[in-house]
Amino acid sequence: MRLLIALLLAALPVAAHADAPLTEAAALRLGLARPELAERARDALDEAEANADEAGLWANPTLELGRERMNAAPGSTERSWQISQPLDLGGRRGLRREAGERRTDAVRAGNEGRRHEQAAEIRRAFHAALHRQAVVDVTVTWVQRFARVDAKFARLEKAGEASGYDRRRLARERLTAEARLAAGRGELARERERLAALIGRAEARDAALTGSLLPAAPPALADALARLDTRPDLTALGHQAEAAELEQRAAGRGWLPDLTLGVGGKRTETGIARDHGTLLTLSIPLPVFDRQQTADRRAAAQALNARAKRSLARSRAEGELRGLHGQLGHLIAAATDYRRQAAAGASELLRIAEAAYQGGESTLLELLDAYRGALETETTALDLEWKAREARIDYDLLTGSIAE
């Protein structure tokens, strides 16, 4: 059993420090630089820009060619040609192109929002792995303490001073420590795989993670509230509302129809004479039934819907931000106080317990209880710091930040 513990302790540092340490900033840089993310954003933007360009294009001109044989005069023919061009007198084409540009801005803001969400996911994966790594480290320390107790217990057993109950209790605690270590290593491996998949680097499976679980205090609430309007999702909704309003303005000019101007020529041959002339045509659709009234209503509804969605999202975000700001402050204070008071005092209690056991003043059960208490204290401190970090990541995402 002691050999197994020694092998576990020897293997862990090698696996943990096979590569250079990986920081949160490096993980973000690698994850956000993946070409797949850039291609996705570029494709969405290209499509929106193409739609905006299409909305601003002139209508194609029309070429008409005609040839007619005259029955009344044998051998007589009439040939004609004409080019017709629709003209946008109401300026609807410019308004629709501007609406397309606003939708392009909305897509650009949406791309930025997805980038922020991807950054938050990378940060969660990094700190989840960092948390698991820290838990494994303190569990290794727990196992190492059992190795020292085991050596001491072996000497007592040779001297006939160890009881059968103590031997069984030590064996059970050792099995618990080994099982907890194996479970912790499994959870760490899972979090490392998730992080490696997000940043696209297989070496993240073995690299040691470095950083602080406990986040920095958030900025003043007033400053955070002032930044809410710059959030990508709220910006995108604003651009969508502007686009719909421009579409409504274009539809509102439906009473002024497009004019089609044509110019061409005509040539007539009667067999004994030829004649030619110039053609000028002008056509105007009469807005009797369709005056773009349905398009006007649809665009107005879309604009009101986008404005309402933005207002609701803004109000909900403000409430969540106020709640997160308070929660984050409490979590940081709780984690800091617990680390300073409970975790710092645990090392002194442990030193006293080990000295008492070695001096024969306490039992094995009391020493094991001290070890277990030290582990629980340290893991509780790490759990509090991890909860504070999770809240800070949510807070940064809510305020439109990639990192704290």
The backbone torsions φ and ψ at residue 4, rounded to the nearest 5 degrees and listed phi first, read -60, -45
Q: Is the pTM of this model over 0.75?
A: yes
Does residue 33 sit in helix, strand or coil?
coil
Q: What pLDDT is attached to residue 209?
A: 94
- CB-based contact 179:4 (threshold 8 Å): no
Give CA separation, 275 vs 57, 65, 70, 269, in Å: 38, 17, 14, 7
**Digitized pLDDT (tens) for each residue of the chain, 404 residues in all:** 333 333 343 344 433 344 579 999 999 999 999 999 999 999 999 999 999 998 888 888 999 988 887 665 666 888 889 999 988 888 888 899 999 999 999 999 999 999 999 999 999 999 999 999 999 999 998 888 777 777 666 666 665 656 666 677 777 878 888 888 999 999 999 999 999 999 998 888 888 999 999 999 998 999 889 888 889 999 999 999 999 999 888 888 877 778 889 999 888 877 677 788 888 888 888 877 877 788 888 888 988 998 999 999 999 999 999 999 999 999 999 999 998 888 767 777 777 777 787 677 777 777 778 888 888 889 999 999 999 999 999 999 999 888 87
Q: What pLDDT is attached to residue 84?
A: 92
Q: What pLDDT is attached to residue 134?
A: 95
Does residue 262 sit in helix, strand or coil?
strand
What are the start-end ranges of the H helices in 278-401?
293-338, 344-358, 364-398
Q: What pLDDT is attached to residue 389?
A: 97
Give the CA count within 13 Å in the CB-facing half-sphere of 374. Answer: 25
Say how far apart CA 350 and CA 298 lie, in whole Å.
73
Say how far apart CA 326 and CA 65 lie, in whole Å.
76
Would you say domain 2-33+88-255+291-398 falls under CATH 1.10.357.10? no
Give the CA count within 13 Å in the CB-facing half-sphere of 311. Answer: 7
Q: What pLDDT is attached to residue 164?
A: 64
| 225 Cβ neighbours under 8 A, 6+ residues apart | 318, 321, 322
Does residue 289 sit in helix, strand or coil?
coil
